[in-house]
Amino acid sequence: MNVLLLEDEEPASKRLQKLLLETDPGITIVGTIVSVSSAIKWFQENPCPDLLLSDIQLADGISFEVFKAVEIKCPIIFTTAYDQYAIEAFKVNSIDYLLKPIKKEELEKALAKFNKMQTAAVPDLSKLLETIALQQQGQDYKKRFVVRYGEHIKTIQVEDIAFFYTEDKVNFLTTKEGRRFTVDFNLDSLESMLDPKVFFRINRQYIIAIYAIKEMFAYTKSRVLIKLQPEARHETIVSTERSADFKLWLGDEK
């Protein structure tokens, strides 16, 4: 069985490949794609795989853009932290989904479902795409976060947040004043909650606000080194995969 992966996070991709081969050693991973543009090119130049495992958030957009651009003639299993409305759409279209972090037993069930439906018709993605489009048109981004410090609980408005980051598997937000608080959401989830015109995920560790950028410098391999205000606890470098989109984001005046 030939399987194609759409996944832009290297650790998640490696884990998924490991689980797939443990579940079925007969699987051949025909490719691992990290962006919408490269996925479209792949489908235009290669025969359709037997199965597609696709994340929703890719390096340069969401995977639904791929399905709009090219006809996908194979079953799809989504690997995602997307919201419940989209999950309901997947169910309507008989498309399976796995919530991250993916568990081996859930992957086994999804593959078993795939094996049963191999002779069935390929699901129609039109209703899924329509549902997602409607959701995006009426997107209501998160306006504030509830945080705890000591025995106290307070809310922080999104416009007061400079950046989010992860450290030792704990997720934090840092305010414009430099105060740090833990948050209950990982960066994958935060990406879908935050207005993409204001916040950008520069790498696996940081999501930054446009107004938190103090200085930027050219770095190796087309990457960008960013100095944040307030200062970050780590070196903040835009990853190679995200550099082109980062530069587009900087110039987005819409």
Place of tokens 């959701």: 135
Judgement on whether residues 154 and 236 belong to the same structural domain of the protein: yes
Judgement on whether residues 152 and 127 belong to the same structural domain of the protein: no
Question: Where do the DSSP E strands lie in 91-158?
Answer: 96-99, 144-149, 152-157
125 vs 107: CA distance, rounded Å:
21
Judgement on whether residues 110 and 184 belong to the same structural domain of the protein: no
Place of tokens 């950046």: 163
The CATH number covering residue 118 comes to 3.40.50.2300
39 vs 212: CA distance, rounded Å:
32
Q: What is the pLDDT of residue 206?
A: 97
What range does the domain containing 231 cover? 144-250
The CATH number covering residue 154 comes to 2.40.50.1020
Judgement on whether residues 87 and 108 belong to the same structural domain of the protein: yes
Judgement on whether residues 117 and 158 belong to the same structural domain of the protein: no
Judgement on whether residues 117 and 32 belong to the same structural domain of the protein: yes
What lies within 8 Å, CB to CB, of 157 at 6+ separation is 143, 144
Q: What is the pLDDT of residue 138?
A: 53
Q: Say whether pLDDT at 135 is over 70.
A: no
Q: Say whether pLDDT at 132 is over 80.
A: no
Residue at a domain's end among 87, 116, 137:
137
Judgement on whether residues 119 and 154 belong to the same structural domain of the protein: no
Judgement on whether residues 103 and 162 belong to the same structural domain of the protein: no
Residue at a domain's end among 78, 109, 137:
137
Judgement on whether residues 15 and 31 belong to the same structural domain of the protein: yes
Tens digits of residue pLDDT in 20-56 = 999 999 999 999 999 989 999 999 999 999 999 998 8
- Domains identified in the chain, total number: 2
Q: What is the pLDDT of residue 254?
A: 47
Phi–psi pair at 73, nearest 5 degrees: -110, 20
What Å distances lie between residue 168 and 160, 172, 205, 234, CA to CA? 24, 11, 10, 12
Q: Which of 126, 2, 4, 142 is nearest to 64 (CA)?
A: 126
Residue 37: alpha-carbon gap to chain centroid: 15
Residue at a domain's end among 119, 137, 155:
137
Judgement on whether residues 121 and 20 belong to the same structural domain of the protein: yes
Judgement on whether residues 124 and 211 belong to the same structural domain of the protein: no
Tens digits of residue pLDDT in 53-110 = 998 877 777 788 888 888 888 888 888 765 554 555 565 555 677 877 788 998 999 8
Residue 104: alpha-carbon gap to chain centroid: 20
Per DSSP, the residues of 200-246 read: EE-SSSEEEEGGGEEEEEE-GGG-EEEEESSPPSS-EEE-HHHHHHH
Reduce the DSSP state of residue 136 to 3 states and report it: helix
6 vs 98: CA distance, rounded Å:
14
Q: At 122, is the pLDDT very low, low, confident or very high (cuts 50, 70, 90)?
A: low
Amino acid present at 155 = T
Judgement on whether residues 227 and 186 belong to the same structural domain of the protein: yes
Computed from CA positions of residues 82, 88, 89, 90, in that sequence, does the dihedral angle turn out positive or negative? Answer: positive
